[in-house]
Amino acid sequence: MITSFLADQALLEDIVRILFVFVLITAAFILSTRNIASLLTVYAVQSFLLTLIAASLYLIEGSEKLLAMAALTLVSKVLLIPLFINVIGEKIKISRDLEFNYLEPTASLLVSMGLIMLSYVFLSGFFDEYVLGKLFFVGAVIGLSLTLMGMLVIFSRKKVMTKVIGYLTMENGVLLFGIFVADLPFVIEILIVIDLMILVLLTTILAIGLDSTKNEYHKRLQTLKIWSGREE
């Protein structure tokens, strides 16, 4: 029963299609959620959806690389990165990001609808959806729109923590685009993930002291117990 379920191509494609909608919904939540903890949960859910998409695509295509990519995403983006940001977030005691630049959530949702349409129009100039396969074409469109929505998050939210999550969303979009259109070597995927982790580490630590001088920065790191090194 399960094997016949897994072999059903049409059903798998339908599942991927539903997952696409949910991915965009998580992006919409990242645009409008004010609580940092729920933002992180939404990001973890989004990464988990990408894992599921990669896994279902593996069942459709049978390429081992997709399975490895799913595993990599699961470990790094569903577990490690949210955990890390959570720890930092608790230390610097930011629990909410209430302010918005230029665009209120309602307006940014409307803008992102426009972005989705725009990426559809833009990509249909490059790819022939019938040559590429409809599912793959839509995957590319969703990937590009997710990247743009991540950019919108960076643009419209105020706190650095949220901006980091916006950046991570952009990266998720690139990953989705990569899965469906560009065939990146697996080594590069791993490198991207490592870069991502270091970037998250640096930005979140730097974010604590962006507005301070060097001496004050040391003090802040010590009071927040992030780094206990001695001052020279």
Helix orientation angle between 186-209 and 64-73, rounded to the nearest 10 degrees? 10
Query: Given the rule CB under 8 A, which of 13-21, 35-43, 49-57, 62-70 is the region that contacts another protein?
Result: 13-21
Helix orientation angle between 160-180 and 64-73, rounded to the nearest 10 degrees? 170
Query: Given the rule CB under 8 A, which of 22-30, 61-69, 73-81, 186-194 is the region that contacts another protein?
Result: 22-30
Subset of 31-50 contacting another protein (CB under 8 A): 32
Helix orientation angle between 134-156 and 9-32, rounded to the nearest 10 degrees? 10
Q: How far apart are CA 167 and CA 179, in angstroms?
A: 19
Q: How far apart are CA 14 and CA 56, in angstroms?
A: 10
Q: Which CB, 138 or 144, lies closer to another protein?
A: 138
Q: Which CB, 115 or 200, lies closer to another protein?
A: 115
Q: How far apart are CA 158 and CA 49, in angstroms?
A: 26
| Residue in 6, 21, 87, 198 binding another protein, rule: CB under 8 A | 21
- Return the number of other C-beta atoms located less than 10 Å from residue 68's C-beta: 15
- Name the residue type at position 22: F
| Residue in 20, 43, 167, 180 binding another protein, rule: CB under 8 A | 20
Least spacing, CB of residue 107 vs another protein, in Å: 9
109 lines the binding site for another protein (CB under 8 A)? yes
Q: Which CB, 88 or 149, lies closer to another protein?
A: 149
Q: Which residues pair with 35 in a beta bridge?
A: 96
Question: Where on the chain is the footprint of another protein (CB under 8 A)?
Answer: 14-15, 17-18, 20-21, 24-25, 28-29, 32, 104-106, 109-110, 112-113, 116, 120, 134-135, 138, 141
